[in-house]
Amino acid sequence: MDNADDYSRLFNKLDTAALVELALVAAGAILLIVVSQKGLNWAANRLHGQHHFRVFALVPLVRLAILIVAISMAVPIVIDPSLQNMIALLGAVGLAIGFALKDYVSSLIAGVVAAVEMPYRPGDWVEIEGVYGEVTHVGMRTIEVVTPDDNLVSIPHLKIWNTPISNANNGGDSLQCVADFYLHPDHDAARVEEALRDVALTSPYLKFDRPIAVVAKEHPWGTQYKIRAYPVDPRQQFRFVTDLTLRGRAELGRLGARPAQTLAGMEGG
């Protein structure tokens, strides 16, 4: 393969019939991808609970399957897929990618890996490099995350190679929420703990088959309490935390527990 003639022998002769066949494969693949993606998204949005996440998780997998089938149909039309030809072609393509399209292709490959390993799926709540939000679309090169402020952030798949991916619900409908309370040291800890547990138990958003924990941590300025509990649906997380916080504050006020006045030096718990 040391001259242009050798490379030209890699490819089949693309007559009209071959071109039509290629076009049909491409059009069929595009059509199937569009229909399946829209159909699965529509179905997932009409389902709730675990079914919602299971159908959402199929979106990138189905697209990947369609692409693999389409490529395996298209390649034999373009080239004679012998071992020698494939080595030569892949070598040339690899050289081009290595110089010019490294990140782009890395994201595409990472997209394939992400579709199989599933570090995130549509419907998951993830944090990647400080961006927290709901994954609304897993594309071939990027994922789309909608933040609580309703910003759409596109994140390339290549982040999965060397960036921690924090997934709050991991394809399920259990997402832990935390509501914080900061109290002056002078209070009855047992009553506060019971009252905060009751606040969680009386939230209309509470998922009952998951545990509730009230955690206390002592600081120089007072005591920090956390309610850890799960909402029925991960999409309720902010309303759930707001409900816990507002009712928790009211209940603590009723018990006479004063809020901590000095937050200097406060640590995360």
Partner 1 sequence: MAQDEERERPLWEVVPLEERELPRASQASQARRRWQALGRWLTLGSEAGEEPARDEAQLRRLPRVRLANLAPPIDWQPGARALAHYLAEAGESAGPVTLLVGAPADGHAELVEAWARLNGARLLPEPAAAALLAGEMPWSPAPSAHAWAVPRLERGFLRQATSLAGLRNFLEAALTGRLGRGVIGCDSWTWAYLQHALALPESAAVTLQAFDGARLTRYLAATTRAAAARTAGEPPAILAVGSGEPVLADGDEASTSRELRELAAHCHGQLGLAWHYWRARLCDETPEGEAPDTLWLAESLDEATLPGEVGEESVLLLHTLLLHGGLDEALLPEVLPFSHARALSGLRQLQRRGVVSCDAGRWRVAPLGYMSVRRLLEERTYLVDAL
* Structure tokens that stand for 77 in this block: 């039309």
Q: Residues binding partner 1: what is the number (CB under 8 A)?
A: 25
- Residues 7-26 within binding reach of partner 1 (CB under 8 A): none
Task: Tell me, residue by residue from 25 to 64, as one string, x for binding to partner 1 by CB under 8 A and - for no binding.
Answer: ---------------------x-xxx--------------
Stretch that binds partner 1, among 6-14, 182-190, 241-249, 256-264 (CB under 8 A): 241-249
Among 199, 229, 241, 257, binds partner 1 (CB under 8 A): 199
Nearer to partner 1, 20 or 201 (CB): 201
Q: Distance (Å, rounded) from C-alpha 193 to C-alpha 254? A: 14
Nearer to partner 1, 120 or 205 (CB): 205
Give the contacts of 45 (CB within 8 A, at least 6 positions apart): 52
Residue 198 interacts with partner 1 (CB under 8 A)? yes
Question: Integer distance in angstroms from the first to the last C-alpha of the chain?
Answer: 63
Q: Which of 233, 245, 260, 266 binds partner 1 (CB under 8 A)?
A: 233
Residue pair 258/184 in contact by the 8 Å Cβ criterion: yes
232 lines the binding site for partner 1 (CB under 8 A)? yes
Residue 185 CB coordination number (10 Å): 13
Residue 59 near residue 122 (C-beta atoms within 8 A):
yes
Cα separation, 35 vs 22, whole angstroms: 20
Q: Phi and psi dihedrals of 190, rounded to 5?
A: -65, -40
Residues found near partner 1 in the complex (CB under 8 A): 46, 48-50, 173, 194-195, 198-199, 201-205, 207-208, 232-233, 236, 239, 242-243, 247, 251, 254
